[in-house]
Amino acid sequence: MSPVLELRDITKVYGSGPDRVHALTGVSLTVHAGEMVAVMGPSGSGKSTLLTIAGSLERPTSGEVLVEGVPLAGMARADQARMRRRHVGYVFQDYNLLPGLTATENIALPLELDGVRAGRAAKAARQALAQVGLADQAGRYPDQLSGGQRQRVAIARALVGERRLLLADEPSGALDSRTGETVIRLLRSACREGAAAVLATHDAQLAAWADRVLFVRDGVAIDQTTPPSGPESLLAES
Ligand code: ADP
């Protein structure tokens, strides 16, 4: 079976002339269904750039991105957009919740855009909210929720539907450590059901939940290892 995500020799250069920034240089990464990979590195090392390219929100300067064996470069724009809506779940630093929609409506939106009827989409959204422990906040608007609650809504939105690739950028950012762990457990359980996840984090404790860790520095992948205590040992403790 094709890997869910394959990055081949990815380079990304922002700007031109003296302002050129090599955000990524020759990075390769393969993630199979069921796997969670953590990307670790200091601020500015290229973690977010790697995730936006993996999610086809941005094109690499050179190199190839394949999702389930299909090169993104050869895909029509409309097909790329459909693939993103249907199969890729994003949890990014600024959450991107729409302020005029309730928690449930924010989560249901990608399903509705994809043609799922409103009633079914709302039901799936309420289930996803319950999964992240926010069943009682369904009718609230983003500005009526705390930072941690908004992040959990963003995670519910990323998990709803049939997502095969989950991309999470610093999901522990606004969360206390217990909520951070809940989120990682949710990502892991999505992986057990066949999704692939890539998680960018500073936090070694969160990275320990991953099957592999890719270390980046100045846009270069410097190492790829198994975390010292693998995910199964952490799950066994629960
Ligand atoms: P990280 O997520 O590890 O903090 P980023 O991927 O955000 O790192 O950034 C990697 C490098 O690319 C940094 O030097 C950053 O300033 C630069 N960069 C990121 N996005 C842009 C952009 N849109 N335009 C110009 N430079 C950028």
Mean pLDDT confidence for 161-165 = 86
Gyration radius of the chain over CA positions:
17
Residue 107, Cβ density class (10 Å: 0-12 exposed, 13-18 middle, ≥19 buried): buried
Mean pLDDT confidence for 184-208 = 87
State the pLDDT at residue 13: 97
Q: In 3D, which of 104, 112, 110 has the Cα closest to residue 136?
A: 104
pLDDT in tens, 144-160: 998 888 888 988 898 88
Cα of 100 from ligand 1 centre, angstroms: 30
Cβ(16) to ligand 1 under 6 A? no
Q: Which helix (H) or strand (E) holds 79?
A: helix 77-87
Residue having the nearest C-alpha atom to atom 25 of ligand 1: 14
Cβ(14) to ligand 1 under 6 A? yes
State the pLDDT at residue 52: 92
Cα of 41 from ligand 1 centre, angstroms: 13
State the pLDDT at residue 238: 41
Joined together, the tokens standing for residue 88 give 């890729």
Compare 80 and 46 and report the one with higher pLDDT. 46
Residue having the nearest C-alpha atom to atom 21 of ligand 1: 14
pLDDT in tens, 6-31: 999 999 999 999 999 999 999 999 99
- The preferred substitution site among 21, 47, 169, 222 for testing ligand 1, maximizing ligand atoms within 8 Å of CB, is 21
Do 50 and 200 touch, CB atoms closer than 8 A?
Answer: yes
Distance CA 234, CA 226 (A): 14
Distance CA 225, CA 213 (A): 5
pTM: 0.85
Cβ contacts of 173 within 8 Å, gap of 6 or more: 93, 151
Task: Give the architecture-level CATH label for domain 5-237.
Answer: 3-Layer(aba) Sandwich (3.40)
Compare 127 and 91 and report the one with higher pLDDT. 127
Most confident range, picked from 117-121, 174-178, 186-190, 225-229: 117-121
Which residue(s) pair with 39 in the sheet?
Answer: 200, 214
Cα of 197 from ligand 1 centre, angstroms: 21
Reply yes or no on whether the pLDDT at 235 is more than 70: no
Cα of 65 from ligand 1 centre, angstroms: 19
Cα of 161 from ligand 1 centre, angstroms: 30
Domain residue ranges of the chain, discontinuous segments joined by +: 5-237
Compare 219 and 190 and report the one with higher pLDDT. 219
Q: In 3D, which of 38, 30, 41, 151 has the Cα closest to residue 90?
A: 151
Joined together, the tokens standing for residue 108 give 């249901």
- The preferred substitution site among 49, 59, 216 for testing ligand 1, maximizing ligand atoms within 8 Å of CB, is 49
Compare 110 and 106 and report the one with higher pLDDT. 106
Band of residue 237 on the pLDDT scale cut at 50, 70, 90? very low
Cβ(46) to ligand 1 under 6 A? yes
Band of residue 172 on the pLDDT scale cut at 50, 70, 90? low
Residue having the nearest C-alpha atom to atom 10 of ligand 1: 46
State the pLDDT at residue 230: 53
- B/e letters for 31-52, b = 16+ CB within 10 Å, e = fewer, are bebbbbbbbbbeeebbbbbbbb
Mean pLDDT confidence for 123-130 = 93
